[in-house]
Amino acid sequence: MQEQIINLNTDIVSKISTILFLYNEPIKILKIKEFLNDENINFDIIKESINKLNTKLSEIGLVVIENKLGNKDNNFEYAISVKSEFSDIAKNIREDELQGDLTPAALQVLTICAYLGASTKNEISFIRGVQSSQSIRSLSTRGLIKKIGDKYTLSIDALQKLGITKIADLPEYEKINKDFTERLKEIIMEKEDN
């Protein structure tokens, strides 16, 4: 029985690690619980597992950041970051992201945000068929997209760089917007059927 409890805890730590890695931005504890999809896992177990994960990550130069949101119980958000002693490396990487050309993945995300309009991270990933958090972060860092609520859209800076005054001025906007919207509906319907 004790071995089963230890394995369960290790399993939860691994699952939370996966969630934090793939989500790739601050995530609320309620959303972590939702992704775990197990009614036997309460907030105390999640917090304990995050503490264990933090200990493991510390060995490889990472840390779990905890941010309390307001005064309510269990109103926390978490993210993986680098330890403070490696912040100069993180700074160099972020500066590098701001220079040079956009990657093909970032261009795809920018195109989706432009032609589909305000889109969630999941919608962008559904359309691309791959996880898009890194490209979204890169475009956000460059100031080309902005987050409003849980949706991403082109920024004013992006419109200026594209030489347009409104998104509808993009080439073949109506046709491509319709194609993207229909594709997203198809993907959502397929997911609901499964």
Report whether 91 contacts 99 (CB < 8 A): no
Coil, helix or strand at residue 154: strand
Q: What is the pLDDT of residue 194?
A: 63
Q: What is the pLDDT of residue 94?
A: 66
Q: What is the pLDDT of residue 96?
A: 66
- Give this prediction's pTM: 0.56
Q: What is the pLDDT of residue 7?
A: 47
At 2-58, the pLDDT tens digits run 444 444 467 899 999 999 988 877 888 989 999 998 888 898 999 999 999 999 998
104-116 and 121-128 helices, crossing angle to 10°? 120
In this structure, the dihedral spanned by the alpha carbons of residues 82, 101, 95 and 93, taken in order and rounded to 10 degrees, is 30
- The residue ranges of the chain whose pLDDT is under 70 are 1-9, 94-100, 191, 194
**Contacts of the segment 162-171: beta carbons below 8 A, 24+ positions apart:** 162/114, 167/114, 167/115, 167/117, 170/114, 170/115
Q: What is the pLDDT of residue 55?
A: 92
